Amino acid sequence: MERTIYREIKATRPVWGMAVMLGAFIAAALGSFFYVEHYGHIVTGMNNQVVWGLPHVFAIFLIVAASGALNVASIVSVFDRTDYKPLARLSALLAMALLVGGLAVLVLDLGRPDRIIVAMTTYNFKSIFAWNIFLYTGFLGVVALYLFAQMTVGIPYSRVRKAGTLAFVWRLALTTGTGSIFGWLVARPGYDAAIMAPMFIAMSFSFGLAMFILVVTTLCRLSHRPFGDLLMLRLGRLLAIFVAAVLYFTAVRHLTNLYATEHRAFEIFTLTAGGSITTLFWLGQVFIGGLAPLMVLFHPSFGKSPKAPVVASVLVVMGAFAQLYVIVIGGQAFPMPVFPGYEVSSNFFDGAVASYSPRWPELLLGLGGLAIALFVTGLGVKILRILPTNLSDANVGLNR
């Protein structure tokens, strides 16, 4: 086992090509923002019934994945698995970058970004949104401190572990707060569920690790740095556990809602009668994002290949967007029970399932947030010593 050496990646032609491509997506997102700001949200698919659209799906994905991207670093500092230690710096950097990308989407989607000043200076502590201001900014500060501790030469490892433990606890609080945004909305039968908080924590583990696998694989290929097959397979097995946990919490949530009379109508809508929402749930969320990755990772032959975790990660990310679309859009599309036990109809679409079709400004804005996260990560590994020069199995202390 060699000493782990961290080096900046070189600005090769493929690296420049990736940077230009991400820059193009960011420029397109800025153009979309100015277009929506000029003409108003009428140019998007959002309306008075569905006020959180596709940009919010991207933003929540990035925020939830940011928490989960810290998995690898937490395994090192909290659970003392030293074989993952060379990946801890990248794990912390990616966590901050994903959160920055997600918050950028939320700010740009406000239409008036200056309104964020109101949210940062006027607090209603009965609202989970007010608490999230502290959770998000605090997460960036705590993880930055953790990364600084890791990169400081001569600092006692006990202090690094304390910083890592604090970051681990904070990330659990952050994801709990994000899940509680939906769990505390008692007016909507598609959101009102205490299990939303632990389910979002499980989702963060799965989504964040999938993003980490894809990013570290891409960076190693761009910089021509070896990555151990056994190390990749271990990450794949860990991903399988998290995917299974998401499926478990999803099943518990829907079974609980079926048992509760007040939520049964929403469950029928989601599981059988929701049209595109139902299709996304069964095909996108359950199969592509859940069952298919497990089949890939546990396949008797392909599952032993280092390509299996990469393929599974792609499937998990695709399923993540489907799952969040079902939660965010499906929960708003289903009508609120204004008068429980009675049928309600009016010219304001009361009692009717809302329609929503995403439009290109929303897609560009969401993709721009993802591009910002990846660009920040790439910039970090370019100017800081984040990525090890050798991640082979022998170098990280793994033997078959």
CATH code, domain with 335: 1.20.1630.10
Alpha carbons 165 and 74: distance in angstroms, whole number: 7
Residue 345 lies in a domain: yes
What percent of the chain is helix, strand and coil (3-state, nearest 5)?
A: 70, 0, 25
User: At residue 387, what are phi and psi to the nearest 5 degrees?
Assistant: -95, 130
| Total tally of structural domains belonging to the chain | 1
In sign, the C-alpha dihedral spanning 331, 337, 340, 346 is negative
**Are the CB atoms for 281 and 321 separated by under 8 Å?**
no
**Are the CB atoms for 188 and 332 separated by under 8 Å?**
yes
**Are the CB atoms for 171 and 67 separated by under 8 Å?**
yes
**Average of per-residue pLDDT across 289-303:** 95
Summarize pLDDT for 114-170 with one digit per residue, the tens: 777 776 777 777 777 778 888 999 999 999 999 999 998 888 888 889 999 999 999
Summarize pLDDT for 186-234 with one digit per residue, the tens: 878 888 888 999 999 999 999 999 999 999 999 999 999 999 899 999 9
Tell me what pLDDT residue 352 has: 77
**Are the CB atoms for 306 and 233 separated by under 8 Å?**
yes
Tell me what pLDDT residue 351 has: 67
Tell me what pLDDT residue 343 has: 72
Residue 65 lies in a domain: yes
Residue 392 lies in a domain: no
Tell me what pLDDT residue 155 has: 84
Tell me what pLDDT residue 391 has: 86
Residue 394 lies in a domain: no
Residue 103 lies in a domain: yes
- Tokens linked to 368: 């721009």
pLDDT at 282 over 60: yes
User: At residue 298, what are phi and psi to the nearest 5 degrees?
Assistant: -105, 15
**Average of per-residue pLDDT across 296-321:** 95
Alpha carbons 18 and 366: distance in angstroms, whole number: 18
Residue 40 lies in a domain: yes
Domain of residue 166: give its range: 13-383
pLDDT at 1 over 50: no
Cα angle 307, 311, 312; round to 5? 115
Residue 266 lies in a domain: yes
Residue 151 lies in a domain: yes
Tell me what pLDDT residue 399 has: 64
User: How confident is the prediction for the chain on average, in pLDDT?
Assistant: 89
Q: Which helix (H) or strand (E) holds 363?
A: helix 360-383
Summarize pLDDT for 348-375 with one digit per residue, the tens: 766 678 889 999 999 999 999 999 999 9
User: To the nearest whole percent, how much of the chain has pLDDT over 70?
Assistant: 95
